[in-house]
Structure 1
Amino acid sequence: MAYDEALAARIRALLTGEQAVEKKGFGGLMFLIGGNMAVAALSMGDLMVRCAPDDQDRLAALGAQPMEMGSRPMRGWLRVPAELTASDDDLSAWVRAGVDFARTLPPK
């Protein structure tokens, strides 16, 4: 299934000035900072956010769900439903969480 192009455009606009690289993967369009995925536009307006594993429970309490690969939950990866990114401020907060974590990782 293709990624949500409107969501990708909104993310792109938020990352203006960042040295973000776009790459297809995980069934969506990933945005990488320093070679590390920060966020990805998925299908139907959902967003994937990479976060510190220690922050996952706090962020999930805001309505996100852990990403799953197969049937296995992936610690440090969240799926944010479209309704939680409907406003630009809400999307910006989720994107910032992913970008901030990606910056803590060594560049690839």
Structure 2
Amino acid sequence: MAYNEFLADRVSMFFKDKNVNFFEKKMFGGLCFMVDEKMCVGIVKDELMARINPDIYEESLLKEGCNKMNFTGRPMKGYVFLTDETIDLDEDLHYWLQLALDFNPLAKASKKRKSS
């Protein structure tokens, strides 16, 4: 299992309940949820990755179970990993998902790669 499928179902249900237009995309050995063609949240193993407003990034890192996303040896500001215990309760999961959704309209889309 590359990612927690139960967590993926919970994320999908949240977005559907909010009537969010999204699609799933396999990335980083896990699953990403794309909103408006931009990465909103993702799941890698048992952790949720959330793209949140960089203005609340440092404050969010003070919350238990919220960690810097660090794939390359250099953390990416605005991207956090949340441990399984941190998002075990629906109320807690929904808090982080809503933060990611709130930031999504402000987030920049990644540049499309041209195929050669």
TM-score over 0.5 (shorter chain): yes
Q: Check if 1:37 corresponds to 2:34.
A: no
More strand by share: 1
Kept in 2, the 8 Å contact 1:31–1:38? The answer is yes
Q: CA RMSD in A?
A: 1.5
| Rounded Cα–Cα distance in structure 1 between residues aligned with 2:5 and 2:70 | 22
Write the deviation string for residues 36-85 of structure 1: whole angstroms up to 9, x where unpaired: 11111220x21000012121111111121110122111111100001000
2:50 alignment counterpart: 49
Query: Which has the larger Rg?
Result: 2
* Structure 1 unpaired stretches of 5+: none
| Rounded Cα–Cα distance in structure 2 between residues aligned with 1:59 and 1:26 | 23
User: Measured at CA, do residues 106 and 66 of structure 1 come closer, stay the same or move farther in structure 2, by a change above 3 Å?
Assistant: closer
The runs of at least 4 consecutive aligned structure 1 residues that moved more than 6 Å come to none
| Rounded Cα–Cα distance in structure 2 between residues aligned with 1:85 and 1:10 | 10
| Rounded Cα–Cα distance in structure 1 between residues aligned with 2:39 and 2:87 | 18
Q: CA deviation at 1:87?
A: 0.4
TM-score by length of 1: 0.91
Percent sequence identity over aligned pairs: 32
Higher relative contact order (CA 8 A, sep 6+): 1
* Structure 2 unpaired stretches of 5+: 111-116
Q: Check if 1:68 corresponds to 2:70.
A: yes
Partner of 1:10, secondary structure, is helix
